[in-house]
Structure 1
Amino acid sequence: MNKMKNPEKELTGKVALVTGGTKGIGKAIADELAALGATVVVSARSKPTEGIAYDFIAADLTKSSDNEALAQKITEQYGGLDILVNNVGGTSSPAGGFSVLSDQDWESDLQLNLLAAIKLDKALVPSMMARKSGVVIHISSLNGKLPLYASNFSYGVTKAALNNYSKTLANEVASNGVRVITVSPGMVKTAAMDTFLESYATSIGKSPDEAAQIVMDGLGGVPMNRLAQPEEIAHLVGFLASPKASYITGANYVIDGGTIPTVF
């Protein structure tokens, strides 16, 4: 009798790297991929003080040298990579529109939200192409499609650039068996979101709850009237990384509680 694969362990034998994988959306994605059977490696600038369940490699992905070192360690320790989730991102730029943003604000957001993914892809995707197999998932943001100039101008612009890059890369590598997909969450309940809302609230003289409502209103409202949980984003990523999504590439999946009112 032929042995049936466990449908709940569809990623058994696969090696996955999740950048920014020690907290928030990244940790939820790491947990999801592990639950599906993958061997999971996570990276971040520094190892958290609390123990983590996965192999950890320290890397500041805004530095080219750290990208190259991370790729080399993955190759040496695991023989290559099957799934790359470029999750690292964020912003520390001030709210208030384009006039308050310095050159350094723009450079920091470009490095973290666009160039980090480009550099790591450049280091790891060629080996996927050589094997004719691999999945790359870029975690973008709703702000890449629906920008908010008052609260996170440069962040939205850099995520829009990531969206375009991801689609372009998908078109180039599809014939080599590599799928490239973008996932664009709306507002997600994470520590990073809490920090952003606290900072934004301070800058406009409001409470964090009021600031959250202002951001949601600025997006045109969130029909589900709540923030997403990280696990809800992770479930989508797990599906897209699995064989069930084998014909999906070049797409941008918005998961925003219905915020965008129509298809872009």
Structure 2
Amino acid sequence: MASDFHGKRVLVTGASRGIGRATALKFREGGATVLGVARTALESADDQLISIAADVATIEGCTSVAEAVLSRLGGVDVVVHALGGSHAPGGGFAALDEDEWAKEMNLNFFSAVRLDRELLPSMLEQGSGVIVHVTSIQAQSPVFESTLGYAAAKAALANYSKGLSKEVSPKGVRVMRVSPGWTETESSVALVERLADKAGSDFDTARAELMKAIGGIPIGRPNTPLEVAELIAFLASDRAASITGAEFRIDGGSLPVV
């Protein structure tokens, strides 16, 4: 991995924390020039990355990121759409009004569509490139209570990704999906802490209860962000040069389907 991406130009969205941050650092470790995108500028501790502050859940944010990629990097070789999440209220379908649906779709689906539309022309012109869409096992096993919109958006992203791969793979651009299960990011740790506080229990008990609530994780623990980043980096490398249009699930065995 020390030189897998030497000379490569990589864009990673959601790079301030979690899977996005781990992925950006993994590509940097592999020798790439990495531009990380987050809604706020990355902290000074991330000075090994080039950063841009932009909200890619908006049209304007996607445009500014694309302009920065082309002007600061001169193009792009790998695009990783790691941005995602849900801030919708609990309560199932009735809690999701027009604004909530728009937020979920813009964050988890249209951000990738818009950036691809801006950046693919330069990748097609150079005849090479890799796009990795980070989806979710909820695209196949949605949780209705509080993440119905998120799950639907990730399902749309998975379908779009497959169709896009058929169009651009013959022209040199590979497109893949990485579908994580529960990953122990800063946000998920904070969630477990809130659940523990609410139940009057400890962190380990609340963590085990949450794993049971999502149907269990056969390996007994969530993913780490680094494990997901390792998979993304492999798929984007020349070692995976014949892989395109495929989905790779990383969930500790959570999803109980073939």
TM-score strictly above 0.5: yes
Matches within 5 A, 1:140-179: 140-179=135-174
Task: Say whether 1:26 aligns with 2:16.
Answer: no
Asked whether the 8 Å contact 1:95–1:200 carries over to 2, the reply is no
Match in the other structure for 1:182:
177
Aligned residues: 257
Which residue of 91, 108, 124 corresponds with 2:119? 124
Match in the other structure for 2:88:
93
Asked whether the 8 Å contact 2:42–2:51 carries over to 1, the reply is no
Asked whether the 8 Å contact 1:95–1:203 carries over to 2, the reply is no
Task: Say whether 1:228 aligns with 2:223.
Answer: yes
Which residue of 2, 12, 37 corresponds with 1:8? 2
Match in the other structure for 2:45:
51
Larger mean CA deviation between 110-119 and 209-218 belongs to: 209-218
Match in the other structure for 2:67:
72
Any idea what SS the aligned residue of 1:16 has?
strand
How far apart are 1:125 and its partner, in Å?
A: 1.0
Which contiguous aligned blocks of 4+ residues in structure 1 show a shift greater than 6 angstroms? 199-208
Match in the other structure for 1:62:
57
How far apart are 1:230 and its partner, in Å?
A: 0.6
Change (3 A) 1:100 1:209: farther
Task: Say whether 1:107 aligns with 2:84.
Answer: no
Asked whether the 8 Å contact 1:47–1:56 carries over to 2, the reply is yes
After superposition, the CA RMSD in angstroms is 2.1
Change (3 A) 1:48 1:38: closer
Q: Which amino acid aligns with 2:71?
A: E
Listed as ranges, the gaps of 5+ residues in structure 2 are: none
CA–CA distance in 1 between the matches of 2:63 and 2:84? Answer: 18
Change (3 A) 1:49 1:31: closer
Which residue of 237, 242, 247 corresponds with 1:247? 242
Change (3 A) 1:214 1:163: farther
Larger mean CA deviation between 217-226 and 25-34 belongs to: 217-226
CA–CA distance in 2 between the matches of 1:197 and 1:17? Answer: 31
1:30-63 CA deviation, whole Å, 9 max, x = no partner?
1111111111110111114443120011111012
CA–CA distance in 1 between the matches of 2:99 and 2:220? Answer: 35
How far apart are 1:102 and its partner, in Å?
A: 2.1
Any idea what SS the aligned residue of 2:27 has?
helix
CA–CA distance in 2 between the matches of 1:59 and 1:208? Answer: 34
Any idea what SS the aligned residue of 1:80 has?
coil
CA–CA distance in 2 between the matches of 1:148 and 1:10? Answer: 37
Match in the other structure for 1:37:
31
CA–CA distance in 2 between the matches of 1:215 and 1:23? Answer: 22
Match in the other structure for 2:133:
138
Asked whether the 8 Å contact 1:16–1:82 carries over to 2, the reply is yes
Change (3 A) 1:223 1:208: same
Asked whether the 8 Å contact 1:166–1:250 carries over to 2, the reply is yes
How far apart are 1:213 and its partner, in Å?
A: 4.0
CA–CA distance in 1 between the matches of 2:145 and 2:201? Answer: 14
How far apart are 1:198 and its partner, in Å?
A: 5.4
CA–CA distance in 2 between the matches of 1:200 and 1:100? Answer: 21
- TM-score calculated relative to the size of structure 1: 0.90
- TM-score calculated relative to the size of structure 2: 0.92
Any idea what SS the aligned residue of 2:45 has?
coil
Match in the other structure for 2:78:
83
1:176-230 CA deviation, whole Å, 9 max, x = no partner?
1000111011111111223444567789998776664454334321101111111
1:220-249 CA deviation, whole Å, 9 max, x = no partner?
211011111110001101100100111111
